Structure formats: C-alpha cells, structure tokens
Structure 1
Amino acid sequence: GSSAFSVSPNAFNVATGDSGKDKVYFNSTAVGLDSALVLLATNDPLNQVITIKVKGIGSTTGVQDAPPLLVPEAFVLEQNYPNPFNPSTTISYQLPKESNVELRIYSVLGEAVRTLLSETQAAGYKSVVWDGRGDAGLSVSSGIYFYRLKAGEFVQVRKMLLAK
C-alpha cells in the first residue's frame, strides 16, 4: 500500500441489499503517479475481500502554475488483478489519446463471453471490473479466459484464470 492514500472513515457497515458510499483521500507525499490497493472486507463467504486499485497524481504545492495532467505515453493493457480470481477481477489500461475502446472477454475457444466496454474514452489511466459473468448475466465456469483491448489501432490480448 501507499501512505499517500487514506480512507475515512476507516470502517463502516452496509446492510444486506443496501448500498453505501465512502471516499478515498489522496494526500501526496511525492510528485508523480502513485497507486495503492484498497481492501474491503465482506461477510460474503464467496467474496470475503474486494480489492480496488486506486491511483493518484502527486504535485507540488504553493503559488505555481498547475502541473499538466498526467497522460500516459503509450497504449498499455495491464495484467488483471487479482489473477487467478474469484469472483471478480480488475482490468487496468492506459490511453495516451482519446480512443474508441472495446474491451471483451473470450473463452479459450475464442467465443465472445462478455463485452465490458464499447465506447469512446478520453486519454488517461482507466480500469474496469469483470464480475465473472457473461453477457446474459450468468456466472461463467472456472477456467482460462482472454481479455482483448482494442483502442483505435492498438490491440492487445492477455490471459486470466477464474478459479472457483
């Protein structure tokens, strides 16, 4: 983890079937990109910990021009986290410019399982969570899956493992 991130309050309860909001605060200890994992404990025996990757940009303080927005230098598709996963995983990627983005999940047979994204997105650091479900909303079986990011002319595929 990173000391630059804090969650306040550091504990809260959400009733079954309800929803809740909380805030993650970023207090920079250095200039540049920083990231951390926020772990949420649940009482769900099938999903005891939810992991969320957060990123922040630290800058100097004082009377200065605002630093330029941090924009990735290249298209990047990162390895999903966690991997292996059950029941959900986070897929992060980077867009150096506005792009038409498609992110799809495929079976080992090459069959499209789920379309996670099909939209135009601004440049930046992005992530999306796959809940282990297909387009029909049903949980998919354990096994190896591939995720494919297409952003403009950029195409990359990575492998992940759903272990139930």
Structure 2
Amino acid sequence: PNAGFSFDEITVSVMDMANNLIQDTVVVIFWNENCLSSLKETIPLRLILEQNYPNPFQHYTTIPFQLKQSDQITLFIYTTEGELIKKEHFGRLPVGEHQYFWTAAQVNGSALRPGWYFYALRNQEGATLVKKMIMIE
C-alpha cells in the first residue's frame, strides 16, 4: 500500500585532493505532497535551520536556527569542494531562537575566496540540516 512516501538508497562518494575516498550510503525519502501536509501537523520540528543573512554577504553573516527542545548542537561550514572550514560546537542549548555570527575574513590564516559555501547544523542524534550561502567581494 502507498503510505504517502517512497524511499531509495543513494551512495555518495567524495574524494579530496590527496585522492582519499570517503563513501556513505544515505536513505532519501520522497514524500507525497498530500501526505506531507498532514504529517507536518502531527510531527513537531525539533530543529529548524534558517537562511543566513545578509545573503549574499561580504565579510560576515548571521546564521539563525531554532530548537523546539534542548539539544546538543554543532555547526559546520564547508566549501563547495567539501573542505571543512569552520566547526563550532555549542554544547547543550535551550529551547528557542539562536544565532551564530560568522566573520568570514580568514580561516587558518588564509583569506576566504568569494563563492558558494554550505553550512550544516547537527544535533546529538545526528540529524543534520544544510543550507547554502554566497560570499561576494
């Protein structure tokens, strides 16, 4: 029977500049739009990642997020090549609205280049939300 969704497994492979290969298999869920509206009403969102602002940005940006229950939170910022350029572990945060102010002028002593970046928010159970942002000159 159709429960309003289907799923598939996808293997993601990433190789760095030193030819180190990392692979992981993820399960992707495809929701039927009619089922999704009723599901949103019954399952509260525990973690909400909002769009950074300003976006695009030059030297700094704010990344807002909300917690519907207290949780251990870590924020990651990556280049489009998958290079981790920032990891901020907040520890246990209370319920409510939070924000992280990021100054993007230098990372490890090197100036960041204009372009697309991804930021990801992960809770203690491993649930991860990702959004993209763009830095301009």
- Which is worse superposed, 84-93 or 148-157? 148-157
1:161 alignment counterpart:
134
Q: Residues 39-61 of structure 1, C-alpha deviation per residue, up to 9 Å, x if partnerless?
A: xxxxxxxxxxxxxxxxxxxxxxx
The answer to whether the 8 Å contact 1:114/1:134 transfers is no
1:47 alignment counterpart:
none
Tell me the matched-pair count: 93
Which aligned pairs between 1:84-95 and structure 2 lie closer than 5 A? 84-95=56-67
- Where do 5+ consecutive residues of structure 1 fail to align? 1-71
Deviation of 1:135 (Å): 4.6
Larger fraction in strand: 2
Q: Could you say what the CA RMSD is over the residues aligned between the two structures, in angstroms? A: 1.9
Q: What percentage of residue pairs aligned between the two structures are identical?
A: 34
1:26 alignment counterpart:
none
Q: TM-score, normalised by structure 2?
A: 0.61
Larger fraction in helix: 2
The reply on whether 1:128 has 2:97 as its aligned counterpart is no
- Where do 5+ consecutive residues of structure 2 fail to align? 1-43
Q: TM-score, normalised by structure 1?
A: 0.52
